[in-house]
Structure 1
Amino acid sequence: MKRHVVFLEVEGGNDKGADGLRPDTMPMVNSLKMFGWTSEVIFYAESKKEEIFQSIVENADAYISRINPGNLEDESSYFELLRNLTNQGIIGMERPEVMMSYGAKDVLVKLRDTSLVPTDTFAYYSMSDFIANFPKQLEKGERVLKQNRGSTGEGIWRVELIDQNEVDENGVLFTAMVRCTEAKDNQVQEFVLGDFLNFCEQYIEGENGMLVDMPFLPRIVEGEIRILMINDKPVNVVHKKPAEGDNAFSATLFSGAKYRYDTPEDWPILISLFQQKLPMVVEILGNYDLPLIWTADFILDTDENKLDKYILGEMNCSCVGFTSHLELSDEVAEAIIKLVTKNKKNHKELEEQL
């Protein structure tokens, strides 16, 4: 084993520090060094794909992707590089299939038969399905639409029918007025439903296009609770309370939400619930190894007995950071070494069997 890890980043972007890197990358590099490993940062560029491939295969045991693939001009080409690397025995953190399982919004639909997600949660991969089903769901109450790969609340819409009488046997009329609030900035716009449906085509068409449709949970005003995971261990909880306002529901800093950083011990019921459900989640999502760094976001709801219950609103693993808690770098480095060592051992045993 080479005991060498490559961190993949891209140049530019508003997530970089003065050194041009994500603020939590060098802490991981330094922590790996403390444990006797070496590492380096390579900036991904489409034009250097073959050069990057050769360098990683020759010098490294593993790569760690620090890139949001949805922001790349050609996501599929980047995924091709990552798949080619893992085909050569490089340990991927994360592999494309893991990113798509744990990082895409349709994870909610995969889990809707569990107690973590409402059963009336849907994914639309075509405009025909969206047009046929969404008006029926909207008739039942406020809905939230989420584009597949958005960030910072972009393409996440709270949708409310203004006049409850504008319905027929097919659901809300296409001519009905709807009040729509985007999580990006809590700005409210009113649309004719038919126009809004056409507006949403941008989220459905194209590579990996898709919209998730789920019921709006009013208790979002009490805050969204994000669990930060290092592999199978909860290490931090962020309580994100939306800004005050009648239509405010966004839990992003940009929209004015207030963040509070807690420990897992501050949320014993939620942490216990999630750890209990984790084996089931892993099985449903394909039995892949859990991501290195990932998050699960929850919103409070109320069950039929008027008791609190937690609803999963999103999971992410594509390029999760821990900038607000850089002291976690040693723990992350230990997890990296453990995962690489375990996977290398498994590969060796498999080769010996063949």
Structure 2
Amino acid sequence: MKSALTTCPKIGLLWRTDLPTSPLDVQSARQWPIMAALRELGGEVEAIGYADETAGTTRDRLLTCDGVMVWADPISDAGDRSRLDPILREAAAAGVSISAHPDIIAKMGVKSVLHATRALGWGTDTHRYADLEELRALLLERLASGPRVLKENRSNGGRGVWRVEVADRGGGAQPIVSVLHAARDSVPFKIPLDALIARFAPYFERGECLIDQPFQPRLGDGMIRCYVSEGTVVGFGHQLIRALLPLPAEGVDSPKAQPGPRVMQPADAGAFQSLRDDMEQSWIPGLQHILAIEHDELPLLWDADFLYGPKDDRGSDSYVLCEINVSSVAPFPPSAVRQVADAAYRRAVAAHERRVAGRGTTASPA
């Protein structure tokens, strides 16, 4: 049986949209550069607009593809992935290459990865609360060292992330804590510690966990987003952020309260070479080992968000991982486009050949 490619692989690019079919103006979409690069490589590319209301149609279209790249946040105003992920699992079982399999997202793209990988060089004093009783027993003790950041396991865009610090110990009475949500335009509020803890009861009842990290004093220096394709760093983005920082005197609507633009830089940007080396040589292999992820299971496009940690004795920066994004990485630096397209095309070709070989084997006499 020949395993050579007889037709070009078909690759779908799926993202959430209000349109029930392919987005009409794909050239204006953030995914367009990758789409164009895939076509240059020889792929047949199809833009697929996803909405829960047309999930069945999406399923049928995905099953005609050899590979699919997916952009869909786990939590958004448009919905979650509860209907999309089963479709992606079905497509993967049928031999379609998925840019980030839902099972891999469940390992990498959640806040519990911060606890699982805390012993790597990107880790910090990270704790995991499995239930309300553990949170009630340990949070006040950990707040004694300074502000902490509590993170719901499945959160994104600032949703489900809070800075918490003691505002008044109460002289033996109930401590009062100051709380600031990381979502845009949030303002700090004060609340009894027990009342704050009680707010998490429904969350734990859903079987989720809560992650606790120390607040990083250098947050004002910005966040570094390290873009990765499989196990290779493909670019960086540096952004001055306002989430979890005190509000300026001018208020939440003032220009000073708004995040700065994300400045994209290529993978060889001099300022981040030590971070790139750590990622490629140590931290990504360590992540794979801890989470039992093979190289070809790594997402085609993902990012790791870092905050600056303390400088070492030589004045060099350290980096603290604050989250990994897998579900919907956009925008991305221009330097990432070709490498991501190459990896997507390679996986789609391999999937195409396996499917062709499987059909040939099935049709062959015993």
| TM surpasses 0.5 | yes
Residue 147 of structure 1 aligns with which residue? 152
Aligned: 1:218 with 2:227: no
Report the CA distance between 1:318 and its aligned residue. Answer: 0.5
Q: 1:198-213, aligned counterparts within 5 Å?
A: 198-201=198-201, 203-206=203-206, 209-213=208-212
> What is the distance in 2 between the residues matched to 1:117 and 1:48?
41
Q: For residue 241 of structure 1, what is the aligned residue in structure 2?
A: 240
1:263 to 256, 262, 266: 266
Q: Deviations over 1:296-338 (max 9, x none)?
A: 1112222785854211111111110135x45743333222112
Equivalent in the alignment of 1:170: none
TM-score (structure 1 length as normaliser) = 0.82
Per-residue deviation, residues 87-118 of structure 1 (Å, max 9, x unmatched): 11111111101111221111101101223212
**Counterpart pick for 1:103 among 102, 105, 109:** 109
The residue aligned with 1:30 is: 36
**In 2 relative to 1, CA 283–177 (structure 1 residues): closer, same or farther, beyond 3 Å?**
same
What aligned pairs does 1:10-29 form with structure 2 within 5 A after superposition?
10-12=16-18, 19=25, 23-29=29-35
Q: Is the 8 A contact 2:308 2:319 kept in 1?
A: yes
Distance 1:266 1:351, change over 3 A: farther
Gaps of 5+ in 1: 168-173
TM superposition score normalised by structure 2:
0.80
Identity among equivalent positions (%) equals 24
* 1:70 and 2:79 are equivalent in the alignment: no
Secondary structure of residue in 1 paired with 2:327: coil
1:136 to 141, 163, 167: 141
Q: Which amino acid is the alignment partner of residue 213 of structure 2?
A: M
Q: Does 1:281 align with 2:283?
A: no
Distance in 2, matches of 1:205 and 1:192, equals 21
C-alpha contact (below 8 Å) 1:124/1:204 kept by paired residues: no
Q: 1:297 aligns with which of 290, 302, 305?
A: 305
Shift in alpha-carbon separation, 1:225–1:326, aligned structure 2, 3 A: closer
Q: Does the C-alpha gap of structure 1 residues 298 and 166 become closer, same or farther in structure 2, counting only changes over 3 Å?
A: farther
Q: Distance in 1 between matches of 2:308 and 2:335?
A: 29
Deviations 1:272-309 (A, max 9, x none): 11112221111112214221111111122227858542
Look up the SS of the partner of 2:75 in the other structure.
helix
Q: CA RMSD in A?
A: 3.4
How many equivalent residue pairs?
338
CA distance in 2 between partners of 1:273 and 1:299 (Å): 15
Contact 2:10 2:348 (8 Å CA) reproduced? no
* Greater RCO, 1 or 2 (C-alpha within 8 Å, sep 6+): 2
Query: Which residues of structure 2 form unaligned runs of 5+?
Result: 1-6, 249-255
Q: Is the 8 A contact 1:219 1:299 kept in 2?
A: yes
- Which residue in the other structure is 1:53 paired with? 59
Which segment is superposed worse, 85-94 or 237-246?
A: 237-246
Match of 1:314 among 320, 323, 336: 323
